[in-house]
């Protein structure tokens, strides 16, 4: 698709990325989730800021994007479900997350806020990406085929209309947020 | 094209004005303590949700960050070992070019700098407080090695899983992708399994 875009469209797209990135980084810093102590605090179950930020984002984003999709204003981009890769990759990611203390987005935000150690997490992220590219063919032929269910959505496996599923997930997130707020 | 740009910038300007205004209403603290988040997590989360709506509407893209590192890795690889890098299957699908997501990554750095310098929260430190208490004030090399190694594992895991805390954790989950909810649960389970023995 990138090849069919004109030069003008490509540079517009890049400029939009920069603007959205600045807003995202600004919010991550203001939310405190660019701090090692707060990120580790979530893994030690001592600080729930990360969960509050993520769940609020999911609640608002889910409601908003599905509403816009209903009116035909946006296209959905659901992630493919590859159970084996999601689980193994997810656990490896978690181990790296605990060791570095940052995730890919919050690590960049941490560098912007002045945490020099996060710069090395960013270098590691580049190195690890290349390492994966080295074995990408092997990985997609093996792990990638385990439990490959395609672009499966919760609303595809729950026998209820999509709006009901969305409202239920939203209510569930609301309950969890209220409980987290009391802890 | 022109009209959509006008719309894009007017929405951007309105949000730039509205979010800090809303935040000042929510938070009474004038100078936030260093270490304490400046804004309410619910407000920040809700704003990230709105930001997701905007990226879908204007850029036709979900927010994600980790693929940008892979593209940067591919660009560096093309400089150092062009033929080998071109031969790798991954870079045939994910071209090593500066596109939307790489610009998002660059923007995150800049945006966090604005937020921290504006709010008096620039840290300028090598060792995070929690780390220093646990591993000592002279543990710089251990910190660098752990950050680098952890970053590498994280990238490998994110590429295998198909996304990170942004791509799966926010954008995938909010679209109700089953794999994203599984992946994000594993992010935190794997993280807890290492963080708890390390710090408790």
Question: Using N-to-C axis directions, what is the helix angle for B140-161 and B66-80, rounded to 10°?
Answer: 100
Query: What mean pLDDT is reported for chain B?
Result: 91
Collapsing DSSP states into helix, strand and coil, what is residue B137? coil
Quote the strand ranges of chain A, DSSP E.
81-82, 148-150
Q: What is the pLDDT of residue B15?
A: 72
- Summarised one tens digit per residue, pLDDT across range B79-104 is 999 999 999 999 999 999 999 999 99
CB-nearest to A40 from B171, B186, B195 is: B195
Give the ipTM of the model, two decimals please.
0.96
Q: Is the minimum CB–CB distance between B133 and chain A shorter than 8 Å?
A: no
- Summarised one tens digit per residue, pLDDT across range B118-132 is 999 999 999 999 999
Best A11, A13, A26, A59 residue to mutate vs chain B (most B CBs within 10 Å): A26
Tell me which DSSP letter residue B170 carries: I
Could you give the C-alpha distances from A44 to A37, A133, B197, in angstroms and in order? 10, 32, 9
Best A30, A109, A162 residue to mutate vs chain B (most B CBs within 10 Å): A30
Alpha-carbon gap, residue A118 to A34, rounded angstroms: 10
CB contact under 8 A, B147 and A124: yes
Over its C-alpha atoms, chain B yields an Rg (Å, rounded) of 20
Under the banding of pLDDT at 50, 70 and 90, the label for residue B28 is: very low
Q: Taking 90 as the threshold, does the pLDDT of residue B72 lie above it? A: yes
Half-sphere exposure at residue A90, Cβ-oriented, CA atoms within 13 angstroms: 24
More confident residue, B12 or A36: A36
Mean pLDDT of A132-136: 97
- Summarised one tens digit per residue, pLDDT across range A83-123 is 999 999 999 999 999 999 999 999 999 999 999 999 999 99
Distance, in angstroms, between A171 CA and closest chain B CA? 14
Mean pLDDT of B171-176: 98
Query: What mean pLDDT is reported for chain A?
Result: 96
Tokens of A155: 């609303």
**Closest-CA residue in chain B for A101?**
B147
Half-sphere exposure at residue B159, Cβ-oriented, CA atoms within 13 angstroms: 30
Q: What is the pLDDT of residue B66?
A: 97
CB-nearest to B44 from A30, A95, A97 is: A30
Under the banding of pLDDT at 50, 70 and 90, the label for residue B31 is: very low
Under the banding of pLDDT at 50, 70 and 90, the label for residue B34 is: low
- The residue with tokens 């794999």 is B179
CB-nearest to A14 from B103, B161, B163 is: B103
Half-sphere exposure at residue B92, Cβ-oriented, CA atoms within 13 angstroms: 9
CB contact under 8 A, B183 and A108: no
Collapsing DSSP states into helix, strand and coil, what is residue A153? strand
Give me the phi and psi of B166, to 5 degrees please.
Answer: -85, -55
CB contacts of A74 in chain B (<8 Å) are 53, 56-57, 60
- Summarised one tens digit per residue, pLDDT across range A3-53 is 567 889 999 999 999 999 999 999 999 999 999 999 999 999 999 999 999
> What are the beta bridge partners of residue B177?
A153
Q: What is the pLDDT of residue A1?
A: 46
Give me the phi and psi of A41, to 5 degrees please.
Answer: -55, -35
For Cα atoms B35, B39, B41, give the angle at the middle one, nearest 5 degrees: 95
Question: Using N-to-C axis directions, what is the helix angle for B66-80 and B100-118, rounded to 10°?
Answer: 110
* Single pTM value for the model: 0.93
Tokens of A10: 């490509």
Under the banding of pLDDT at 50, 70 and 90, the label for residue B25 is: low
Under the banding of pLDDT at 50, 70 and 90, the label for residue B18 is: confident
CB contact under 8 A, B128 and A115: yes
Residues with Cβ within 8 Å of residue B133, at least 6 apart in sequence: none
Alpha helices, DSSP H only, in chain B? 2-26, 41-54, 66-80, 82-87, 89-93, 100-118, 129-135, 140-161, 173-174, 178-199
């Amino acid at each position: 698709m990138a090849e069919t875009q004109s030069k003008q469209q490509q540079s517009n797209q890049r400029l939009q990325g920069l603007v959205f990135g600045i807003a995202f980084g600004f919010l991550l810093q203001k939310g405190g989730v660019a701090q090692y102590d707060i990120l580790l605090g979530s893994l030690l179950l001592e600080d729930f800021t990360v969960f509050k930020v993520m769940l609020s984002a999911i609640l608002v984003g889910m409601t908003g994007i599905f509403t816009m999709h209903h009116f035909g204003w946006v296209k959905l981009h659901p992630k493919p479900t590859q159970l084996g890769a999601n689980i193994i990759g997810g656990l490896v990611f978690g181990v790296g997350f605990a060791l570095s203390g940052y995730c890919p987005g919050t690590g960049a935000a941490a560098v912007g806020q002045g945490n020099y150690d996060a710069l090395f997490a960013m270098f590691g992220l580049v190195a690890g990406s290349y390492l994966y590219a080295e074995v990408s063919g092997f990985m997609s032929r093996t792990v990638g085929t385990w439990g490959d269910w395609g672009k499966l959505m919760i609303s595809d496996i729950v026998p209820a209309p999509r709006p009901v599923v969305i409202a239920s997930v939203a209510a569930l997130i609301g309950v969890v947020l209220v409980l987290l707020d009391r802890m | 094209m022109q009209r959509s740009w006008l719309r894009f910038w007017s929405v951007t300007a309105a949000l730039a004005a509205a979010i800090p205004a809303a935040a000042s209403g929510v938070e009474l603290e004038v100078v936030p303590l260093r270490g304490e988040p400046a804004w309410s997590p619910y407000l920040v989360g809700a704003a990230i949700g709105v930001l997701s709506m905007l990226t879908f509407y204007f850029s036709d893209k979900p927010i994600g960050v980790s693929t940008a590192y892979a593209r940067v890795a591919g660009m560096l690889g093309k400089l150092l070992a062009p033929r080998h890098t071109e031969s790798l299957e991954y870079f045939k699908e994910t071209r090593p070019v500066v596109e939307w997501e790489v610009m998002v990554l660059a923007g995150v750095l800049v945006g966090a700098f604005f937020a921290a310098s504006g709010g008096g929260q620039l840290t300028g430190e090598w060792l995070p407080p929690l780390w220093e208490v646990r591993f000592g004030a002279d543990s710089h090399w251990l910190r660098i090695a752990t950050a680098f190694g952890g970053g590498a594992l994280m990238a490998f895991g994110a590429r295998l899983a198909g996304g990170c805390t942004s791509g799966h954790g926010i954008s995938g989950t909010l679209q109700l992708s089953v794999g994203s909810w599984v992946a994000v649960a594993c992010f935190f389970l794997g993280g807890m399994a290492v963080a708890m023995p390390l710090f408790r």
